[in-house]
Structure 1
């Protein structure tokens, strides 16, 4: 162990009075790092790290700007400190956090304002905080490539510099070499949305020195942000996002890089080499860092499939993992569970970056928000008792309506016509009425709670009337309940005017933030999982085939990862439709689709017995529901 690390532990031991109860060595075990360093006198500087790439084609290796703040007293005493790092493209274009904070600088270009509370809270506790401008953004050179080698490489280069494997400079061009002898080299990456995505991507390189990541509402595969099992997600493109985040850069010429982005992704939903480059799930085997992930089950921006497949892929790596699942949309836990989040982060970083034995790795692995502000712990996700259960649609007395049962397959047909102007909210609104644009099957009233925990799939055998076709499926909880208003402007939170403070403040770097509370709504239905596919990709995700009208095709596609209890007395429904407006783009011609019910089923991850229907009870004719704001996008991450 380095002598500098021993000094950190000694400082903590002297200043941390509280200890963990109930252990034989409690008197010798520090509870956690304490705010012993003066934030006002902290060292603030920018180092430009050489990435070894020339993305903007100017003949010089790109340098990325790493703005950092670290305790001055630690440097003067020769105490090396670990690093909390947030690499982002948003520090000038869009801002970070609920208050859209941007980096600020003094007249000499010295960093003053660091967005978010990480520096205010952790620097006094013996950490450095490093905020990295991704290549091609803010004060960094190079070009954005939306999750590709430039983005990931620019953040990885800073981890390498912190561990003595890359060169840093005192200026964007020229300048003198700068080393990072003040750090232990232990790095924890954190960030929401695009930032957390970069943390996932850097971890997937297996870079030495990255000890932990905290991805918040993060992408694990960019294909699953812009596409879905062959279907093209509605709105946005990698090239458009690159232009948005590069708006505040230093004016470098990225026309060639932008052309590559525009041309590198198929216009259809085929999985290509460009998507594979941005698929961190496929590289999860390389991850060595521990992972503390958090995601909103109702996130309609970065869909929950992104946490589900990433978490599951990490299971085989053996790394320590922790997961929070909220009822919110695309929201940071600092805004829905603030005190608990800061405390959890503090313990997590203390353990994985300072090496303090505080027992955090032995706390419950998974926490799930069951009702607004009501959390339960689980030992695993999917839940330990979760298993795949097949439920089959069976035709009823009314065309397009029927039951969803765990019994045997029953012959039957159901037909609907794709209406690209309708969405899942329209499909679900009148469950007792037949519809020309969807079919609906329900379990009937549940005799006991039904816990779904994991990632489900739909297998559908469908005959289209045209050569192109989309197919969508949604799971609906019918019954009165109070949930977070994830479709509202705050995606499940309401931000007030009162503030609370998390750490020390200085002029230009405030530690105080507006307090958010749960924004709730009473509903009669909750669409809690959905999935979309292009029938042309029934054989291969990498290559679509033209459909022959009148011929049946079988396709299996994924539903959004979830952890949801459908309560006793409610009903679970499966709805199958065509184009889910706002979520996926429509086909060239709207087809008439005939579903072969005997060869169509949904496979659900159920913790407990299969659903058992109670006494017959009609659904409400038009139950109230959340109407999601489909303008949500990563650009406002």
Structure 2
């Protein structure tokens, strides 16, 4: 037992003897949350960690996912102010749940799927990683959120998700038990569930210090779990703040019928993630591996076709939103190529349509990044403490503008910007160099061809002056900034030389930023991927007849970006995206019918704003092309 814990328990024991503190014969003021300008303030009596009470317990769930004939129990920790014992203070709870708290697996690429094989082929088997070394120091599962929320008058609770840490059960990567596990903890926090001092004992523990008002937050997988809990409609879960949540495992590992990997994790799939988080329940590991990973996942994930199916539908929270009533503050980065931004946008739009209180916060960076404390504080103050601060009347959308700090977002009426409307652009011929991207074309543009070669990265293809491995079409140089807000859409008519093909589309800003300190994402406006075999349905592939043209339509990732004056907007069409797709043998030819190809851009101000921003400036345009010239890529 740690020195800090011993000191805390000793203090609590002494203070329990004298529950009414007196000064000069008068009862001292009891500690309580303090609010100013609609936000919970840091309270001196709550901020000293030496006076916090920490303990852990196990909460019984309603499921048996590890097949041992007993209801699974989740390991839970609690950190709360001493006044919850000495003064009978009841407080709302900020709750985080995670599969990562107690250790994760090996990220060595040898445990990923091999991506160097032909499309439509069964991939070679994947090597499973060794057992995870459990890392835990009871009674503390995690210290996340404690420093932010406990001094502001909240109790902070954590739990390890099923099959991780000291929680029982099996990881299912989005299965029902990962929604029902946090629901059980919330039921316990609200006095409805059962908690015990040990994983297999019957000595009860109650949450007598809880008001029955719970909020959840977390990032990535830890942000998925709050949404999962909210879809159960559990009473007492009043508000959630998911940050970069994975809202559909299909949209994480697939895209419009295409096998696609999260950025930075080429070769990862749902079964790898299972291995990566399965840190607990050693006695039931064989059962979980057999039933979940080697049976359900192996049969359902389908790395051959990439089609959507019932396995993926069960792991798509868009289908489970019916019971949800927790107020939602969503957060995401527009340049997050790990959990791409559509994950948050699709849920935000669906929850807004339900009439549930909702706000969204976006920044221009990559994975992670919570809203500013002010936004989160107002959200939890309103829905957990019940303070009428008018947050429901605040702007719905908060977007960090280019170059601004995360804590200084710009507010908008909604996302997408209500002033945005679609502008349809058409390509003009130019391959293997650059064509143009224009509002109207005066004559037929015919077809142009590209040759697949995964050896070249997307950024090198975008910068190339001449290459047969992509098609690219650029707008006139912007004479003033152009604001995009919403989801660009692409419509192509193409033919493939083979029955299988990757299809990748990037929207880029040129000239390319060559500053070594700059991120590659500085020039990527947005991206999208699709399998032409799924042009009719993502649930069913149709082998392509070589040489036959097919109409393919799909969305690119949502965005809100102001493209700077002096830049050009480029539409790049290519096949294998080296960062995220499979790597088939180079040589597949894609032929694109330019007359049947369209890009729909969501422009704030619509067509008139686009015309104004692209008013001809021949001198500037010539200089831009000269600056962006790069060596040819054969």
Cα shift at 1:589: 7.3
List per-residue Cα deviations over 1:183-233 (Å, max 9, x = no partner): 121111100000101112222222221111111111111111100111111
Aligned to 1:252: 284
Aligned to 2:382: 351
Distance 1:159 1:358, change over 3 A: same
1:454 is matched with which residue?
A: 486
SS at match of 1:139: coil
Using the TM superposition, give the Cα deviation of residue 12 of structure 1 relative to its aligned residue in structure 2, in angstroms.
10
Q: Note the 1:430-469 alignment, pairs <5 A.
A: 430=464, 433-469=465-501
Give deviations 1:80-137, integer Å, cap 9, x for gaps: 2111111100001149xxxxxx9752xxx433x7333x21232233211111100000
3-state DSSP class of the match of 1:585?
coil
Q: CA deviation at 1:408?
A: 5.3
What are the ranges of 5 or more consecutive residues in structure 2 without an aligned counterpart?
1-28, 106-133, 262-266
Residue of structure 1 in register with 2:463 after alignment: 429
In structure 1, distance between residues paired with 2:521 and 2:36: 48
Q: Does 1:280 align with 2:317?
A: yes
SS at match of 1:215: strand
Equivalent in the alignment of 1:291:
328
Aligned to 1:577: 574
| Structure 1, unpaired ranges of 5+ | 1-10, 21-28, 96-101, 334-339, 486-519, 626-637
Q: Tell me whether 402-411 or 294-303 shows the greater mean CA deviation.
A: 402-411
Q: How many pairs were matched up? A: 552
Q: Deviations over 1:337-374 (max 9, x none)?
A: xxx82333222211110011233333333222222335
Structure 2 equivalent of residue 193 of structure 1:
220
Q: How does 1:87-486 map to 2 (within 5 A)?
A: 87-94=97-104, 104-105=136-137, 109-111=138-140, 114-116=142-144, 118-234=145-261, 235-253=267-285, 254-255=288-289, 256-259=291-294, 260-267=296-303, 268-333=305-370, 341-374=372-405, 375-396=409-430, 399=432, 401-407=434-440, 410-411=443-444, 412-430=446-464, 433-479=465-511
Tell me how far apart the structure 2 counterparts of residues 544 and 195 of structure 1 sit (CA, whole Å): 33
How far apart in 1 are the matches of 2:44 and 2:391? 20
Q: State the distance in 2 between where 1:604 and 1:620 align.
A: 22
Shift of the 399–380 alpha-carbon distance from structure 1 to 2, 3 Å rule, reads same
2:123 corresponds to: none
What's 1:539 paired with? Answer: 536
Distance 1:261 1:522 in 2: 36
8 Å CA contact 2:39, 2:374 repeated in 1: no
Are the aligned partners of 2:30 and 2:87 in contact in 1 as well (CA < 8 Å)?
A: no
Corresponding residue to 2:603 among 603, 606, 611 = 606
CA distance change for structure 1 residues 318 and 269 in 2, over 3 Å: closer, same or farther?
same
Give, in angstroms, the shift of residue 405 of structure 1. Answer: 1.5
Farther-moved stretch of structure 1 (222-231 vs 398-407): 398-407
8 Å CA contact 2:510–2:570 kept in 1: the answer is yes
CA pair 356-136 structure 1, distance change in 2 beyond 3 A: same
Answer whether contact 1:32 1:350 (CA < 8 A) is retained. Answer: no
C-alpha distance in structure 2 between counterparts of 1:183 and 1:399, whole Å: 66
User: Which of 75, 82, 87 lines up with 2:92 in the alignment?
Assistant: 82
**Higher radius of gyration, 1 or 2:** 2
Pair 523,196 (structure 1): closer, same or farther in 2 beyond 3 Å = closer
The structure 2 residue matched to 1:64, chosen from 57, 61, 74, is: 74
Instruction: Report the CA distance shift for 1:353/1:481 in structure 2 as closer, same or farther (over 3 A).
Output: farther
Give 1:238 shift.
1.1
Distance 1:134 1:110 in 2: 16
Match among 43, 52, 55 for residue 34 of structure 1: 43
Counterparts of 1:360 and 1:114, CA distance in 2: 30
TM-score between the two structures when normalised by the length of structure 1: 0.81
Q: What is the DSSP-based 3-state SS (H/G/I as helix, E as strand, rest coil) of the residue aligned with 2:527?
A: strand
Cα gap change, 1:328 to 1:219, in 2 (>3 Å): same
Larger mean Cα displacement after TM superposition, 547-556 or 609-618: 609-618
RMSD of aligned residue pairs (Cα, Å): 2.8
Query: Once the 2 structures are TM-superposed, how far is the Cα of residue 525 of structure 1 from its aligned partner?
Result: 6.4
Q: Distance in 1 between matches of 2:99 and 2:594?
A: 47
1:119–1:298 Cα change, 3 Å = same
Alpha carbons 1:39, 1:124 under 8 Å: kept: no
Q: Is residue 55–residue 257 contact of structure 1 (8 Å, CA) maintained in 2?
A: no
Cα distance in 2 for partners of 1:168, 1:620 equals 67
Determine if contact 1:400/1:415 at 8 Å carries over to the other structure: no
Per-residue CA deviations over 1:571-594 (Å, capped at 9, x if unaligned) read 111000111112111457742111
1:3-62 residue CA offsets vs partner (Å, 9 max, x unmatched) = xxxxxxxx999874x744xxxxxxxx8865634335423221212111222212222211
Q: 1:524 to 1:237 in 2, by over 3 A?
A: closer
Give the match's secondary structure for 1:529.
Answer: strand
Q: CA deviation at 1:67?
A: 0.9
Runs of 4+ off more than 6 Å: 11-15, 480-483, 522-525
Determine the structure 2 residue equivalent to 1:628: none
- SS state of the match for residue 222, structure 2? helix
Q: Give the 3 Å change call, closer, same or farther, for CA 352–409 of structure 1 in structure 2.
A: farther
Query: Secondary structure of 1:314's match?
Result: helix
Distance 1:30 1:539, change over 3 A: closer
The question of 1:597 aligning with 2:607 is answered no
What secondary structure, in the 3-state scheme, does the structure 1 residue paired with 2:356 have? coil
Deviation string, structure 1 residues 580-635 (Cα, Å, up to 9, x no partner) = 1121114577421110111111112211133232213133457599xxxxxxxxxx
Output one character per residue of 1:516-562: Cα deviation in whole Å (capped at 9) or x when no partner: xxxx6288960120000011111110011111111111111121111
Question: SS in structure 1 opposite 2:398?
Answer: strand
Match of 2:561 in 1: 564
